[in-house]
Structure 1
Amino acid sequence: MIKDLSPIDKAKYVAACRAADLVQDGMRVGLGTGSTAAWLVRRLGERVRGEGLTIKGVPTSTATAQLAREEGIEVISLDQAGWLDLTIDGADEFDGEFNLIKGGGAALLQEKIVATASDQMVVIADAGKEVETLGAFPLPVEVIPFGWQTTRTLIEEALDTMDVLGTSVTLRMNGEAPKVTDEGNHILDLHLKRIGNARQLALVMNQIPGVVENGLFIDICDKVIVGYGDGRVELRDLNEGTVLTDMLSEGGDNLFSDLTD
């Protein structure tokens, strides 16, 4: 299978496979949203069907919930789970301190709630998502529909006082209509180019009336699994300060061997 994938899809696939190996029988697992997370859900489905793996999945979007059910994964709500052993999700950007920008799939609210209700959060991403400084990817901010234009104006005014390079704010569209999240809200994308102080920006954004949540994930992620187009995959542990490098075999879908610590 892996040899038939494009380099970018191969990178996502190997990261997802490596992350799936972290899931143990009986775990309650947060399932992320997006193209990389979809590979994870499919791989977990393979383990459920092939190995008899028993897990309870808490999806972060209706799309992920549907895919998980199709793959034979038991789906429960976060309220039913109470607390999660692990959440695995993608990211639009991550920096050296494992701070993230998420929300490209418009699921940032559920993603942040699920991630913070977990013993640990693992991010899976291709190498292109790593940045020195966050901000090249537009920062999503979820806002309620009522008075969203006023909220946008307040955001623009706040950005004038922030350490960012850009202050353009656009409403995310779905064809001719605004994009609607699973919670019935809108998404404003902040085109900042560079975020000098992500922690400060996250706090300021969430103080603005009409803002539900922002796509900056600060001090939430514990591990990042980075996939490469040649089949290499790195597991980086922020708390341990370690990097494990593995290789996915061309001859099998899930044959890893440790190469370096």
Structure 2
Amino acid sequence: MVLGLGTGSTAAFVVAKLGELLKTGELTNIIGVPTSKRTEEQARSLNIPLSILDDHPHIDLAIDGADEVDPLLNLVKGRGGALLREKMVEAASDEFVVVADETKLVDGLGGSKLAMPVEVVQFCWKFNLVRLQELFKDEGVEAKLRVGEDGKPYLTDNFNYIVDLYFENPIKDGYAAGKEISGLEGVVEHGLFLDMATAVIIAGKTGVEVKSNEKMGNSTPLKPEGLYCSTGNLAIASALFPGEQGMCFGFQVTIYTLHSSLKNSSGLIVHQIGKQHSDWYVLQLRGEGKA
């Protein structure tokens, strides 16, 4: 199975668990394609077999977080700075599963009023910053060059800069916006991930909901009474089919090992990490994988 390894706090937890399962032999025949240098470094430190798109252009499944999720499962991603490689890997994946908490839900992209990143070449970056701000003047956008902790311009893994767009109002048309941004010379990539997510797993105070696109069918809520999970026990939480018994779920969720097709999944396996209900829970999508 070829697995796209995302970037960010959720993805880091996935990679850590993946390394642990490979070490114990619970998982085999996994090849990871990382979406950033820091994910690559983490995976190598855990002896996870790695590859690149040149050698594995077909990816079975990618798993990653998101900065914003709209009702149509369109996303804003890239606040961690890896938007270009994330988009390349996730676009090459048969299935792309996003894990996020309910604070990432927005009515329209840009609605969180946090950064929507645009990766630009270093050459004449101010020229493109001004053009990006002018492009979205009706949305009340403020464009800022991203800087690092050292006060210098933030460099992506591709040695480009990032211009962050902060919207006063949600983007009116994400598809048109993406096309206009991409049409600017010197723009490398933007953080609008449109029509890419196969499913989004949303963790909230009352449980978990699996939102799926038209390929997958309707959303399926996971309510606490539909879960069974206690410390040290493995439990089946039916994500795509009704749950049966028990209750308990935490506020933070991630996934640690996956399969090649959500459509063939029979549910979610839930593990509790820690003894408190507020601790991490780990979801494992069940199904038939392939090397």
Q: For the superposition of Structure 1 and Structure 2, which TM-score range results when normalised by the shorter chain?
A: 0.7 to 0.9
Once superposed, which parts of structure 1, at least 4 consecutive aligned residues long, lie more than 6 Å away?
Answer: none
2 CA distance for matches of 1:242 and 1:63? 33
Task: Label 1:254 to 1:124 Cα distance change in 2 as closer, same or farther (>3 A).
Answer: farther
Q: Is the 8 A contact 2:209 2:219 kept in 1?
A: no
Aligned to 1:168: 142
Which of these residues, 42, 51, 67, is aligned with residue 42 of structure 2?
67
1:222 aligns with 2:202: no
Deviation, 1:68, is: 1.3
SS, match of residue 59 in structure 2: coil
CA RMSD of aligned residues (A): 1.9
Alpha-carbon spacing, 1:242–1:168, altered in 2? closer, same or farther (3 Å): closer
- Structure 2 residue aligned with 1:213, among 189, 209, 220? 189
| Aligned position for 2:269 | none
Task: Select the structure with the greater relative contact order (CA < 8 A; seq sep ≥ 6).
Answer: 1
The residue number in structure 2 matching 1:42 is: 16
For residue 199 of structure 1, what is the aligned residue in structure 2? 175
Contact 1:140 1:188 in 2 (8 A): yes
- Name the TM-score, length of structure 1 as normaliser: 0.83
Q: After superposition, what is the alpha-carbon deviation per residue over 1:199-257, rounded to whole angstroms, capped at 9, x for unaligned? A: 11111000011110100001111110122357x33322212123152647241375333
Q: Among residues 1, 8, 33, which one is paired with 1:58 in the alignment?
A: 33
In structure 2, the residue matched to 1:251 is: 231
How much does 1:76 deviate? 0.8
CA contact (8 A) 1:37 1:124 kept: no
- Of the three residues 109, 121, 124, the one matched with 2:84 is 109
Q: Which deviates more from structure 2 when the two are superposed, residues 195-204 or residues 37-46?
A: 37-46
What SS does structure 2 have at the residue aligned with 1:121?
strand
Match of 1:11 in 2: none
CA distance in 2, matches of 1:209, 1:148: 11
1:73-222 map, 5 Å: 73-135=48-110, 136=112, 137-160=114-137, 164=139, 166-174=140-148, 175-193=150-168, 194-222=170-198
Deviation readout 1:50-98 (Å, 9 max, x if unpaired): 3033200000000111111223311111111121011111100001100
Q: Partner amino acid for 2:127?
A: T
One-letter amino acid of the structure 2 residue matched with residue 211 of structure 1: V
Greater C-alpha Rg: 2
* Structure 2 CA distance for aligned equivalents of residues 72 and 96 of structure 1: 38
Using the aligned pairs only, state the percent identity. Answer: 39
Aligned equivalent of 1:28: 2
Distance 1:256 1:244 in 2: 14
Distance in 2 between the 1:212 and 1:139 partners?
Answer: 14
- 55-64 vs 80-89, which deviates more? 80-89
Aligned counterparts of 1:72 and 1:256: Cα–Cα separation in 2: 29
Q: Which residue of 2 aligns with 1:242?
A: 219
Structure 1, residues 130-161: CA drift from partner, whole Å, max 9, x if none?
A: 1111112221000000000011111122223x
For 1:189 and 1:90, locate their aligned partners in 2 and report how far apart those are by CA, in whole Å. 18
Q: Secondary structure at the match of 2:39?
A: helix
Equivalent residues, number: 231
Q: Cα 1:52–1:180, aligned 2, differ >3 Å: closer, same or farther?
A: same
The TM-score normalised by the length of structure 2 is: 0.75
CA–CA distance in 2 between the matches of 1:111 and 1:248?
34
Q: Is the 1:244–1:258 contact (alpha carbons within 8 Å) kept by the matching residues of 2?
A: no
1:7 counterpart residue number = none
Counterparts of 1:71 and 1:235, CA distance in 2: 29
Q: Which has the higher helix share?
A: 1
User: CA offset at residue 197 of structure 1?
Assistant: 1.0
Moved more, 183-192 or 132-141: 132-141
